[in-house]
Amino acid sequence: MFEIFGIPSTALFGQLLIGLINGSFYALLSLGLAVIFGMLNIINFSHGAQYMMGAFAAYLILQYSGLGYWPALIIAPILVGFTGILIERFLLQWLYKLDHLYGLLLTFGLALIFEGVARNYFGSAGLPYTVPESLRGGQNLGFMFLPNYRAWVVAASLIVCFGTWFVIERTRLGAYLRAATENPTLVRAFGINVPRMITLTYGFGVALAAFAGVMAAPIYNVSPQMGSELIIVVFAVVVIGGMGSILGAIITGFGLGVIEGLTKVFFPEASNTVIFVIMAIVLLVRPAGLFGRRA
């Protein structure tokens, strides 16, 4: 055992692992945002509220049908994704021809509405939701105690991130989608239903947010403002990674989780702001983000 900058090495490795776990969470959240912006050019400010809706859906599913965590992991994203489809069909599709900012304003307004309604009915202190039986407890790794649930979060996040990246970058469906965003008229001429693809993609991005929400419910406080606290950080992650890049969002999510974890050890009071400092530096040096495609 040796010391690095006054912190024992075992403690430091523990903090790095925790940073990685948090990073996997950021990656999962920023994935949905990157998909929606990268594919559809919509700045989805209601992402945080949809994440919150996923967690609340898990709670309500438990309350009203008795179904626990594992069914909720599938049902909640489908339900919330469906509301995303409704939003796209009835509200967002009219704004594609306009400036990005209109989409931002609309989704921001929706976020405020969802949060306000949730706070009205449930209050702000939060709702109880416990870790499922099968994932309780943890492993003593020697340098730290790793809860089983957190290990599951990393695994699920890696699977979902890799799966999404694979579908978009390596399958025909993903190719259609990428083509449709670059040149919708031409793709439509080939007989592909572009509006429906866009609707389903938005719904998928929202479902990803809700999936992250269900994963968060057992470990973070399920409250109406849980999304607004995280959404700013997630936007910073996506901006640093490059607004068009799926891979960029994933890698940046993990990387920033680790950096934030290290900050919490050496200078905890700044752990909120370090991500934005990095964002400012990255934007000065590479305005398109680390992996961004735009010139």
Partner 1 sequence: MRKSIGLAVLVAALACGGANAQQVTVKVGVLSDMSSLYADIGGPGSTAAAKLAIADFAKDHPNVKVELISGDHQNKPDIGSQLANQWYDVDKVDLIIDTPNSGVALAVSQIAATKNKVFIVSGAAASDLTGPKCNTNTVHWTYDTWMLANGTGKALVKTGGDTWFFLTADYAFGHALERDTMAAVEKNGGKVLGKVRHPLNTNDFSSFLLQAQTSKAKIIGLANAGGDTINSIKAGAEFGIVKGGQKFAGLLVFASDVNALGLQTAQGLTLTETWYWDMNDSNRAWTKRWQAERGAAGKFPTMVQAGVYSGLTHYLKAVAALKSAADGKAVVAQMKQTPTDDPLFGKGTVRADGRKVHPAYLLEVKAPSESKHPGDFYHVRATIPADEAFRPLKEGNCPLVSG
Residues of this chain that interact with partner 1 (CB under 8 A) are 8, 10-11, 14-15, 18-19, 21-22, 119-121, 123-128, 130-131, 137-138, 144-145, 147, 149-150, 219-221, 223, 225-226, 229-230, 261, 264-265, 268-269, 271-272
Residue 145 host element (H or E): strand 145-147
Q: Residues 207, 81: contact at Cβ < 8 Å? A: yes
CB of 126 to partner 1, least distance (A): 4
How is residue 107 written in tokens?
């989704």
User: Within its chain, how far is the Cα of 79 from the centroid?
Assistant: 17
CB of 122 to partner 1, least distance (A): 8
CB of 57 to partner 1, least distance (A): 18
* Rounded distance between C-alpha atoms, residue 141 and residue 293, angstroms: 41
By beta-carbon proximity to partner 1, the closer residue of 72 and 243 is 72
By beta-carbon proximity to partner 1, the closer residue of 128 and 287 is 128
* Rounded distance between C-alpha atoms, residue 293 and residue 241, angstroms: 10
User: Within its chain, how far is the Cα of 155 from the centroid?
Assistant: 15
By beta-carbon proximity to partner 1, the closer residue of 218 and 289 is 218
By beta-carbon proximity to partner 1, the closer residue of 46 and 245 is 46
CB of 28 to partner 1, least distance (A): 14
CB of 18 to partner 1, least distance (A): 5
By beta-carbon proximity to partner 1, the closer residue of 180 and 233 is 233
CB of 11 to partner 1, least distance (A): 5
Strand, coil or helix: 4: strand
DSSP string over 76-142: HHHHHHHHHHHHHHHTGGGGTTS-HHHHHHHHHHHHHHHHHHHHHHH-SS-B-----GGG-SEEE-S
By beta-carbon proximity to partner 1, the closer residue of 19 and 32 is 19
By beta-carbon proximity to partner 1, the closer residue of 168 and 215 is 215
Q: Residues 27, 249: contact at Cβ < 8 Å? A: yes
By beta-carbon proximity to partner 1, the closer residue of 37 and 129 is 129
Q: Residues 207, 80: contact at Cβ < 8 Å? A: yes
CB of 25 to partner 1, least distance (A): 8
CB of 153 to partner 1, least distance (A): 11
Collect all residues with Cβ–Cβ distance below 8 Å to 213 and sequence separation of at least 6: 50, 51, 52, 53, 54, 55, 56, 57, 58, 76, 80, 227
